[in-house]
Amino acid sequence: MDTVTLNTGDLKSQEYFLNMGPQHPATHGVLRLILTMDGEVVKNIEPDLGFIHRSIEKQCEYEGYKQIIHLTDRMDYLSAHINNEAVALAIEQALEIEVPERVKVIRTIMGELTRIASHLLWWGVMGMDVGALTTFMYAFRDREMINDIMEETCGARLTMSYSTPGGVMFDLHPNFVKRVKEFIPHLRSVIPKYDELLTGNVIFQKRMKGIGILSYEDAISHGASGPVARGSGVSCDRRKIAPYSALDKVDFKEIIYTEGDNLARYNVRMKEMLESLNIIEQLIDNIPDDGIQAKTKALIKLPKGEFLQRVETARGDLGVYIVSDGKKNPYRVKFRSPGFSNLNALIEMGKGHLIADVVAIMSTLDFVVPDIDR
């Protein structure tokens, strides 16, 4: 039998490049992805960084240790307090000072509030990225309550600069405990509504389930951390592995899902918010009262050596690595940012998916571009 050959003439399918970003609504900042596309299918992803590089690490070499902290606000601005805490902990570790119990508890509560705020913002934006525009305002309504609490105590809503080496900047506002206690039941009551609105939605489930699978091995080999790795079954919560501040005194679960797809990462974050509420609830009732500042010198000089402090930000494992030569400013500072490694995992996850899926995957990775590109 003759085989029929389709004469396509000069018609050929052709791969093309699509520049996603630096100005694109889905990249949440100035990230540029060079997509190799075949029709709507993404064949390859090449992230291009450097659009918001402010050389924070280099700036740190010219600043005193107290002054480094306000720069870390500007890295991962959504978990600004946890960044501050990381630097403060690293310096305290180097100076071998014991901070008061009150400071530890305050830092932990603030850190968990920041984590909730960050996850709430992520949830709102996640909805926007898959087309449900209303989630954004609902999430912001609840995030605003945390921002108000922060404003009352720290004097700023986003870039708090609240931790200092050896303590915290201000004491808690008298209203703090009351407002946090109001917030906890409020969030507990709205999260089921979030689930009804978005999580349970059949369209959303179809968009999330089985998309962007990151295997256990890939998660480890790409150095993914935080909710991204925990969605792939990797136990990597620094709060569990090496508890810092008051985290050794509280009882909480590490949320781990093993599917490794978008929905797993989504669920990890949703459950983490509730777990953070548990942590706050355990600490809020008895905040010790032994001062907010350990004795430090006015001009901090670190002893010669190398110091590493790792904390769990809302995005994952943040490492602060300080090399000191005994002077008043560090010899070298390196921040190991979680977003950078998580972005790396996107290359693996996005291949072979449609462009809309790549947007959804990026959303579940929860980028903060200034964190990727310091």
**Quick one: which of 85, 50, 55 has its CA closest to 332?**
55
Q: Is 198 in the site for another protein (CB under 8 A)?
A: yes
- Joined together, the tokens standing for residue 279 give 């942590």
Considering only residues 98-127, where is the footprint of another protein by CB under 8 A?
127
By C-beta, is 134 or 235 nearer to another protein?
Answer: 134
Q: Is 363 exposed, middle or buried (0-12, 13-18, 19+ CB in 10 A)?
A: buried
Number of alpha carbons in the 13 Å side-chain half-sphere of residue 82: 30
Q: Is 25 in the site for another protein (CB under 8 A)?
A: yes
> What type of residue is 68?
I
By C-beta, is 23 or 221 nearer to another protein?
Answer: 23
Q: Quick count: other Cβ atoms within 10 Å of Cβ 38?
A: 13
Element (H, E) at 164: strand 163-164
Element (H, E) at 150: helix 134-154
Interface residue with another protein among 61, 151, 259, 281 (CB under 8 A) is 151
* Candidate ranges 143-151, 212-220, 229-237, 342-350; the one touching another protein (CB under 8 A): 143-151
Interface size with another protein, residues (CB under 8 A):
58
Interface residue with another protein among 91, 128, 279, 292 (CB under 8 A) is 128
- Joined together, the tokens standing for residue 243 give 């508890």
Considering only residues 199-258, where is the footprint of another protein by CB under 8 A?
200-207
**Quick one: which of 353, 354, 261, 372 has its CA closest to 315?**
372
Three-state SS at 105: helix
Interface residue with another protein among 50, 54, 155, 289 (CB under 8 A) is 155
Q: Is 63 in the site for another protein (CB under 8 A)?
A: yes
Q: Is 61 in the site for another protein (CB under 8 A)?
A: no
Interface residue with another protein among 38, 53, 134, 182 (CB under 8 A) is 134
By C-beta, is 11 or 133 nearer to another protein?
Answer: 133
Answer whether 136's CB lies under 8 Å from 273's CB: no
For the CB of residue 355, give the shortest distance to another protein in the complex, in Å.
6
Q: Is 148 in the site for another protein (CB under 8 A)?
A: yes
Q: Is 73 in the site for another protein (CB under 8 A)?
A: yes
By C-beta, is 220 or 294 nearer to another protein?
Answer: 294
| φ, ψ (nearest 5 deg) of residue 224 | -65, 150
**What does DSSP say about strands 41-48 and 163-164: parallel, antiparallel, or unpaired?**
unpaired
For the CB of residue 247, give the shortest distance to another protein in the complex, in Å.
26
Binding mask 157-196 for another protein (x = CB under 8 A): --x-x--x----xx--x-------------------x--x
Answer whether 208's CB lies under 8 Å from 263's CB: yes
| φ, ψ (nearest 5 deg) of residue 312 | -100, 105
Q: Is 71 in the site for another protein (CB under 8 A)?
A: yes
Element (H, E) at 310: strand 305-312
Residues in touch with another protein (CB under 8 A): 16, 18, 24-26, 40, 63-64, 66-67, 69-71, 73, 127-134, 136-138, 141, 144, 148, 151-156, 159, 161, 164, 169-170, 173, 193, 196-198, 200-207, 298, 354-357, 359
